Structure 1
């Protein structure tokens, strides 16, 4: 993974972040099947995905106010989460939690608001944390408490990935490298969106 300030190109840790798999579904369901590639459309999201749109597409949010901007155009989850979940008895695979892009080698949850991820030919700007809901327990009983819990400091931890908007369209495929450009300081921590 290469982490850069807005005008810097200096690498940080030297590790490589990459795309494990990509997923899309034209219907509002929970899990998304793996596909060979996804096309990200600037300002819209994943072409052909039920959550693509300039305004909110998640059904619960549409019910509240369908005119709100869609800050949840792309959902990314780190594959390392699945490794941890497997250790506590939950066999969860890429796409099972409804993400569009499964990553490895990047601390998605540690990114600040506005971090720009260059993935394949596209750029995704991180807007916030996915807010896990009851559908996760419907998928696997007991899973919600593993991805939405209280930390040692009493703060709520949301571990089910991050959401973003498409700032530059392009095609994303498994194996694509991910580069990170951080916004100018101060860096704001991610909150639920």
Structure 2
């Protein structure tokens, strides 16, 4: 069984800003993370990015990267997110989430892309929608169902 861990939960009150880490989050069906500006009744309710992907950017010379700077809601470790097919269901804390999209286009060219010419979110970030509501915490296990 493929498993990973949540290392950071990140939210923002408005779009277009770096997300701030929180200890726990409530996830609602047809919404996503309560209190996050990107939540809503659509297919990209929650975004995930692996710490291993962030480490690639650090190795490319981007300094001072912290969770939430790629606008990801969940920073993870020990699970290769971008290799999970669309439709994969994940048990994350009390929730069940379904992978709905791999990567995304950076429309304006994020600050990271402008600095080093590349951003990892378009190829290695993923998006999910909430299938079963619940609370998630830093340290929760992510299991592929």
| Shared fold, TM over 0.5 | yes
- Provide the residue aligned with 1:21 in structure 2: 8
Please show how residues 101-180 of structure 1 align to structure 2 within 5 Å.
101-139=74-112, 141-143=114-116, 145-147=118-120, 158-180=122-144
Deviations 1:90-145 (A, max 9, x none): 13221101111111010100001111111110111000123141545335623452
CA-based RMSD of the aligned residues comes to 1.8
Long gaps (5+) in structure 1: 4-15, 55-69, 149-157, 182-193
Partners of 1:37 and 1:144 lie apart in 2 by 33
Distance 1:45 1:87, change over 3 A: same
- Name the larger-Rg structure: 1
SS at match of 1:17: strand
Deviation at 1:175, TM superposition (A): 0.5
Please show how residues 26-41 of structure 1 align to structure 2 within 5 Å.
26-41=13-28
Alignment coverage as a number of residue pairs = 144
Retained in 1: the 8 A contact 2:82–2:103? no
Q: 20, 26, 29: which is aligned to 1:42?
A: 29
Distance 1:90 1:134, change over 3 A: farther
Bigger proportion of residues as strand: 2
Retained in 1: the 8 A contact 2:86–2:102? no
Distance 1:81 1:146, change over 3 A: same
TM-score, normalized by length of structure 1?
0.69
Deviations 1:9-37 (A, max 9, x none): xxxxxxx5100000111211231000111
Long gaps (5+) in structure 2: none
Higher relative contact order (CA 8 A, sep 6+): 2
Deviations 1:51-76 (A, max 9, x none): 1111xxxxxxxxxxxxxxx1000000
Partners of 1:31 and 1:114 lie apart in 2 by 28
Partners of 1:115 and 1:143 lie apart in 2 by 32
